[in-house]
Chain A
Amino acid sequence: MALLEVRNVTLHFRGLTALADVRLSVEQGSIHAIIGPNGAGKTSMLNCVSGVYRPQRGEILLDGRDVVRLPPSSRTRLGVARTFQNIALFKGMTVLDNILIGRHVHQHVDVVMGGLYWGPGQREELADRRRVEDIIDFLEIQHVRKKVVGTLAYGLQKRVELARALALEPRLLLLDEPMAGMNVEEKEDMARFILDVNEERGTTVLMIEHDMGVVMDLSHRITVLNFGEKIADGTPEEVRSDPAVQAAYLGEPVSVFTGSDA
């Protein structure tokens, strides 16, 4: 069964159509990639799913439940977490604190009890720290645990952002260009983490990525957008050999002008 079902979503910004009648279905437990040239509407799609944008038309079903009207915070509680294209961490805080913030949705002790040193507040904090340490171990960032995020290299910040998203214990993880601006070694590490998150934690991943090698290697399924429209959807092999995709990427003039695309 599909964990996420996007039905006929249309998103306008005044006269500009960012997404036009897009359908998309992400299977439970899969790694699903959205690709497409610049301005194709990939990030808009992700923003619709996470709740930053509200589409004018269409439905977004999470586990069969329409979440279009829910604010981002409620969707987070339903198990949606994301990372951003431009890192959105608290730069002046330590890595540990940033990740701990990701535990917020799972914290239920109220202000008064949480303010006390002993009791449920302490128990909860210990349990949260334990989860966070598991994630730190998982993403191999032990050496920067106590470092202030702003002082870290870009590739490491990306990893910290992923760590914070994982701290939510999401069922659906949205990654917006997780490998942008990374060198080969960092990309390899990140690819391994994404695979491990998917395989060992069973988290469903929906990601936007430009590195075709990464997309083709990692994804179970790929959706291709171009100018807000879905032009292809399928396994990496199917997408690779799709003439419309080739046209969109290589800008083959003949097919565009003759409109012979699928």
Chain B
Amino acid sequence: MTPLDALGGEDTFPKLLVRNARRHPARTALREKDLGIWQPLSWQGYLDAVRELSLGLRELGLQRGHKLAIVGGNRPEWVMSELAAQAMGAASVGVYQDSTLHEVAFVLDHCDAEIVVAEDQEQADKILDMLERLPKVRHVVYTDPRGLRGYRHPALISFEAVREKGRAVLAHQPRLFEEEVAKGSADDLAIISYTSGTTGFPKGAMLSFRNLLAMALALHEVDPKRSGDEFVSFLPLAWIGEQMMSLSSALALGFTVNFPEAPETTMENVREIGPHVMFAPPRVWEGMVSSVQVRIMDTTPFKRFMYERLMPLGYAVADRRFSGKPLGVGWRLLYWLSHLLLFRALKDRLGLSRLRTASTGGAALGPDVFRFFHGIGVPLKQIYGQTEIAGISCIHREDDIRFHTVGEPIPGTEVSISDAGEILSRSPSVFLGYYKNEVASREVVREGWLHSGDAGHLEDGHLVVIDRLKDVMRLSDGTRFSPQFIENRLKFSPYVKEAVVIGQDRPYLCALLCIDMGIVGKWAEKQKIGYTTYADLSSRTEVYDLVEKEVEQVNGTLPLAARVRKFVLLYKELDADDDELTRTRKVKRNVVEERYGDVIAAVYGERQAVEIDATIKFQDGKTARVQAKLPVRELLRKVA
């Protein structure tokens, strides 16, 4: 029995779309908030739109084996474009819309797409400007006509015009779409997902329908979704996690996908929908916790009093559950009371009242955040996986949550550890290889095992991830340490937004930290500490004292040799636009080490402070000069 048997032969996305429209034509498939109202689209409407678009794209020259690139935010048109391409036997390539021009140009050119679907003027401008460097691109389809009315570019065509072309074809070839869909098979290339590597250019992971659907079904077995469920799509659709939810899972299991009105309204829209299913990277969950903490600081004394009394109760109950202890009647009663008085309201505020399955993935999530959500009754689980295995290989089970692990393999997935300590996994979801990069493909998949590049170990069935294998470092005395492990622990502090730990071939560890402006700013206000800018706040002695306590706390959990001896608070936040982070907000260590080389040199040069004279580039291209004196803080309690 193969994993896709459950789908009864409907083994591609377009086939599933046709199936869903046949089974539940009137049921809501997609919903988008537009003009202040949630506008539903039925499965039948979804299919009709995809059919027209698909035939229209065919008229523009899209053929079996081609690629269709899509740049834009979370909109129904995005998923429709993907399905339209796949219906004609082409693959879709999602491009992160906030990527730099350089990255967009690379992906568009590398994937050989002839047609690009761009959301709006901003994205279309981006592509039209680079058209000379993109000889393969022949058509740019835009979905939002706003601001593009005056454009007369031969390559530009509107989404509606493409659908119109499709309608014309439909009039005399009514069966063409269904025939093309029927030609598709599970092993066809469905998407190319470009992974934002922390080094070098992105690589295009090729995934088949089999890869994607097998993963969705296996995950469903341990984390079930129902056809009446609601899901809000607000993370980049180019990301494998969002593909897994908004496409593979939604199509295979038939739940409703909702698209927010605008990026700024996301959290408000989540609350309106009250999703049953949510999958988000740690920063979203952390964002929710910090928004609660900030608002509690500002609320009435009574509410604050309630929060401060009842939250520890939630934590206590969560901790008992984590350690597997049974809850006595007394505990249950107290928890039920706290639920009535606080947790219910809190969940409602965050839009999590109906949430049944919640998961986090992509990076480590702090235990405090875990405890918070379990405390208020949101069953948050950790997920682990790579794009190359269609997103997921491990997940926590409902009754067996452990902060420091990423759970157990999902059905059909085997996980083992190589002699070098690398995490290997094998499943029907292991990808087809990197697009036009045989060498890298052979390196990553050997004898069917996907080599993750992560160091880890197994702990009675649970997988523990330590760090990227190549990132495990050595101090000059040979002590091994994992910077990412320490960084994650530092970042668990609400005051620390980013952390970079340095120490390769150095006598001891030091950390470059970025404070969280929102929380530290709030804290400073409470303490009556005046400040002007981020740089100013970061250099305050009081803030250093505050962060020092946090660092000391982390140090307490680390082995003596791998403790942070010194730290510096940077004068600006690390930013993907400055190439310091990847688009999924992972630190590009080499860039940071190079850019802040003088800071690092000063730290190890045993200086008390660093004179900074740097130029900051703003998003609009303007630059500003920052001159500041960064203190270097050495922790009082001697370490190492």
Contacts and interface: CB of A to CB of B under 8 A. Distances in A.
Q: Do A and B come from one complex?
A: yes
Interface stretch (B145-153, B238-246, B456-464, B491-499): B145-153
Given A142-B264, A143-B262, A137 B35 contact: yes
B619 interface: yes
A142 B261 contact: yes
Nearest to A131: B35
A199 B622 contact: no
Contacts of A130: 35
A108 to B, nearest CB: 23
A143 B36 contact: no
B264 A143 contact: yes
Interface stretch (A35-43, A52-60, A184-192, A234-242): A184-192
A139 to B, nearest CB: 11
A142 B33 CA distance: 10
A142 B36 CA distance: 7
Contacts of A129: 36
B149 A200 contact: yes
A199 B620 contact: no
B261 A192 contact: no
Interface SS of chain A: helix
Contacts of A145: 36
Interface string A154-198: 000000000000000000000000000000110010001001100
B449 to A, nearest CB: 46
B527 interface: no
A142 B262 contact: yes
A66 interface: no
B265 interface: yes
B579 interface: no
Contacts of B622: 184
A5 to B, nearest CB: 28
Interface string B363-397: 00000000000000000000000000000000000
Contacts of B618: 184
Contacts of B149: 199-200
Contacts of A252: none
A133 B265 CA distance: 15
A192 B147 contact: yes
A231 B261 CA distance: 48
A130 B39 CA distance: 14
Nearest to B37: A133
B598 interface: no
Interface in A104-142: 129-130, 133-134, 136-138, 140, 142
Contacts of A134: 35
A196 B147 contact: yes
A184 B623 CA distance: 12
B49 to A, nearest CB: 20
A196 B148 CA distance: 10
Interface in B132-188: 146-147, 149-150
B36 A136 contact: yes
A160 to B, nearest CB: 15
Interface string B2-46: 000000000000000000000000000000011111000000000
B129 interface: no
B268 A143 contact: yes
Contact of A137 (B34, B268, B619): B34
A143 B150 contact: no
A34 B622 CA distance: 28
Nearest to A144: B264
Nearest to B262: A142
A215 to B, nearest CB: 18
B203 to A, nearest CB: 34
A196 B261 CA distance: 20
Nearest to A96: B36
A192 B147 CA distance: 9
A133 B33 CA distance: 11
B351 to A, nearest CB: 15
A133 B37 CA distance: 9
B81 to A, nearest CB: 21
A136 B618 CA distance: 28
A195 B147 CA distance: 9
Nearest to B122: A192
A20 to B, nearest CB: 39
A218 B34 CA distance: 30
B262 A133 contact: no
Contact of A185 (B150, B264, B619): B619
A141 to B, nearest CB: 9
B126 to A, nearest CB: 15
Contacts of B264: 142-143
A142 B268 CA distance: 11
A5 B454 CA distance: 73
Contact of B35 (A133, A188, A200): A133
A185 B620 contact: yes
Given A142-B261, A143-B262, A143-B268, A199 B150 contact: yes
A251 B428 CA distance: 77
Contacts of A137: 34-35
Interface in B243-273: 261-262, 264-265, 268
Interface string A14-44: 0000000000000000000000000000000
Contacts of A195: 147
A185 B618 CA distance: 10
B279 to A, nearest CB: 23
A248 B16 CA distance: 71
A140 B262 contact: yes
A188 B268 CA distance: 26
Nearest to B33: A142
Contacts of A138: 146
B571 to A, nearest CB: 20
Contacts of A196: 146-147
User: B35, B147, B622 — which one has the most chain A CB atoms within 10 A of its CB?
Assistant: B35
B265 A142 contact: yes
A66 to B, nearest CB: 35
A185 B620 CA distance: 7
A136 B150 CA distance: 22
B498 to A, nearest CB: 23
A184 B265 contact: no
Nearest to B35: A133
Contacts of A188: 620
A136 B33 CA distance: 13
B160 to A, nearest CB: 16
A232 B264 CA distance: 44
Nearest to B36: A133
Contacts of A142: 33, 36, 261-262, 264-265
A196 B262 CA distance: 19
Interface of B: 33-37, 146-147, 149-150, 261-262, 264-265, 268, 618-620, 622
**Closest A-B pairs by Cβ, 4 of them:** A143-B264, A133-B35, A143-B265, A142-B261
Interface of A: 129-130, 133-134, 136-138, 140, 142-143, 145, 184-185, 188, 192, 195-196, 199-200
Given A136-B36, A145-B36, A200-B149, 17 more contacts: A130-B35, A133-B36, A133-B37, A142-B33, A142-B36, A143-B261, A143-B262, A143-B264, A143-B265, A143-B268, A184-B618, A188-B620, A192-B147, A195-B147, A196-B146, A199-B149, A199-B150
21 contacts: A129-B36, A130-B35, A133-B35, A133-B36, A136-B35, A136-B36, A137-B34, A138-B146, A142-B33, A142-B36, A142-B262, A143-B265, A143-B268, A145-B36, A184-B618, A184-B622, A185-B620, A188-B620, A196-B146, A200-B146, A200-B147
